[in-house]
Amino acid sequence: MPRPKAFDTTQALDAAVRLFWERGYEGTSVQDLVDTLGVNRASLYGTFGDKAQLFAAAIQRYGDQVRTVLAAELAPPHAGRAAVAGYLEAVVHVASRPHSPRGCLLMNTALSCTTAPPELLELALAAVRGSEGALLAALRRDVALAVRPDVRALARFFAAESHGLAVLARAGVKPAQLREAAAVALRVLDAPGPGPTH
């Protein structure tokens, strides 16, 4: 019968998420993980595998946690401008929480990680790209916005805006300033859309 693990794997994974979020994949060594998680190398490898496997688990864990917060703002019955405004506010909140690393682990990885295995980068990029579809669905639930010929471009625009807010948060921009930027972006929904293309 296998011996019970001497540590809480969920707490250890959350600690790994924070460490990777603060230092990035490249800036985090196996020894850093051992020291932060409070386990020996044998336990680390036996539970999570190598550094790349632990990073993949950390990305999944972080993605699940963030989606719980962000997806709620874009899920039915939320629609249109109110849904997008709630989503951008949630992005600012997640990226600027006190006592947490700034920015977004997924965006940080997509922008600055160059030596991680390609499959890990693809995990981060796939999560980043996923926001566009949810934004598009929320915009289309608003009858006035659904008929705009640029509704897909609007979804892409707000996805880019949310990513930009996360990057600015990482750079130390204050939450109030991020909210000002989000408010400016939302004005595109107040303007009439382009006419039909021929």
> pLDDT by residue (tens digit) across 37-84?
888 899 899 999 999 899 989 988 988 888 788 889 999 999 999 999
Is residue 107 a contact partner of residue 163, using CB atoms and an 8 Å limit?
yes
Most confident of 62-76, 104-118, 162-176: 162-176
Q: If you average pLDDT over every residue of the chain, what do you get?
A: 87
Whether pLDDT at 195 is above 60: no
pTM greater than the 0.85 cutoff:
no
Using CA atoms, how far residue 120 sits from 5, 48, 68, 83, in Å, is: 27, 15, 21, 30
Name all contacts of 24-29 with Cβ < 8 Å and 24+ positions apart: 24/108, 24/109, 24/112, 24/113, 25/51, 25/55, 25/109, 25/113, 25/115, 25/116, 25/120, 26/113, 26/114, 26/115, 26/116
Separation CA 134–CA 146 (nearest Å): 14
* Percent of all residues in the chain with a pLDDT value above 70, rounded to a whole number: 92
Span 163-174, average pLDDT: 92
3-state secondary structure of 30: helix
More confident residue, 177 or 3: 177
Domain layout of the chain by residue ranges? 59-189
- When pLDDT is cut at 50, 70 and 90, the band that residue 128 belongs to is confident
CATH superfamily membership of 59-189: Tetracycline Repressor, domain 2 (1.10.357.10)
The pLDDT of residue 191 is above 80 = no
Decide if pLDDT at 194 tops 80: no
Length of the chain: 198
d(CA 112, CA 32): 19
- Residue-level pLDDT at 121: 77
Instruction: Give DSSP secondary structure letters for 154-187.
Output: HHHHHHHHHHHHHHHHHTT--HHHHHHHHHHHHG
